[in-house]
């Protein structure tokens, strides 16, 4: 069984089925001896939009801004925003990742999509 579990959770209502499923997973995994961390995207007010705010120290080519190129360079240089760094660290440490979210239009909620990107 996995020792470190990360649950990435995206639902606004603590009374939802998704909240109950998340809580049940936390209880069951903890009872099995796992360390469980929950990234509650709505509670964190996680910013889903990909913008220059994801990069510290400014972008290299503001006139011809290309998010993919700039974020790659920022990652290589250690200039990602703190919220992104924290989530990446959680992923690196996790043995198991669970995504808990409602289906919106046959896909994940926008906040979850932004986290994945």
This prediction has a pTM of 0.90
Enumerate domains of the chain plus CATH numbers. 4-116 (3.40.50.360)
Q: What is the pLDDT of residues 28-71, one digit of tens each?
A: 999 999 999 999 999 999 999 999 999 999 899 989 999 999 99
For the chain, give percent helix, strand, coil, nearest 5.
45, 20, 40
Paired strand residues for 38: 7
């Amino acid at each position: 069984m996995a020792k470190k579990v990360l649950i990435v959770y995206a639902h606004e209502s603590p009374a939802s089925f998704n909240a109950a499923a998340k809580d049940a997973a936390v209880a069951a995994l903890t009872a099995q001896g796992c360390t469980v961390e929950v990234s509650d995207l709505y509670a964190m007010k996680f910013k889903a939009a990909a913008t220059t705010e994801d990069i510290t120290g400014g972008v290299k080519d503001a006139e011809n801004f290309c998010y993919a190129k700039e974020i790659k360079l920022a990652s290589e240089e250690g200039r990602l925003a703190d919220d992104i760094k924290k989530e990446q660290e959680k992923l690196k440490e996790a043995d198991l990742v669970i995504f808990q979210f409602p289906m919106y239009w046959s896909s994940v909620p926008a906040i979850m999509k932004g986290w994945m990107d």
